[in-house]
Amino acid sequence: MDYYFTIEKSSIAEYKDRGSKFLAYADPILNTTEFKRNLNNLKKEHSKAVHHCFAHRLGFTGNEFRASDDGEPSGTAGKPILGQIDSKKLTNVGIIVVRYFGGSLLGVPGLINAYKTAASLVLQTIPIVQKPILVAYSLQFDYNSTNQVMQILKHTNCIVNTQEINLFSNLQIHVPKSSEEELLFKIKNLPNIGIQKII
């Protein structure tokens, strides 16, 4: 898989059922630290809310995810929220649904429907974008190879993150996964060049 789907901006949607109000917040995230910061901010902003349920998925392996019912009956909140993220095949996305209790119990089917609907509504308000999966490398080469290296990087749509151009130069780059083989093949044909994958 060379591409992934995600969102690029945050959004909010609201769903009401029998007096209870569900506020769904969707955010693009790159790591759990960002997600926890968003969650803490919402807990402060909505300190009177009964529940702050959530789900997020990160990375490209499909293994990095978490879902929380935050005191709701098991499986009624986090799982339905994650289900909406997965139904659109998204990653690097976090959704938090804040519930204000309205006095009437919704029961298990009602809760599942409410959290699922709130998450679905917020995802409908944001454009979904396709992005290339990027792989990080570090390059070391002598000054004489600079032009050739830069031409190869441009041709393979690499992003240069950091560069030190001296007599012996160091670059940290991101290459789209779809261009990785081509980059390695071309770079390895140049003299006096070192390339290492950054994990």
The pTM (predicted TM-score) of the whole model is: 0.86
Residues 58 and 92 in one domain: yes
Please give the pLDDT value at position 167.
85
The model's pLDDT over 170-189, given as tens digits with 9 standing for 90+, comes to 999 999 999 999 999 999 88
Last residue within a domain, chosen from 130, 158, 177? 130
Residues 64 and 20 in one domain: yes
Please give the residue range of the domain that contains residue 164.
133-197
Residues 36 and 98 in one domain: yes
The model's pLDDT over 44-79, given as tens digits with 9 standing for 90+, comes to 999 999 999 999 999 988 789 999 999 999 999 999
Please give the pLDDT value at position 85.
98
Residues 31 and 117 in one domain: yes
Residues 19 and 76 in one domain: yes
Instruction: Output the domain CATH number for residue 28.
Output: 3.30.230.30
Output 178-186 pairs: Cβ under 8 A, ≥24 positions apart.
178/2, 178/3, 178/132, 180/135, 182/156, 183/137, 183/152, 183/153, 183/156, 183/158, 186/152, 186/155, 186/156
What 3-state class would DSSP assign to 173?
A: strand
Instruction: Output the domain CATH number for residue 161.
Output: 3.30.70.240
Residues 140 and 123 in one domain: no
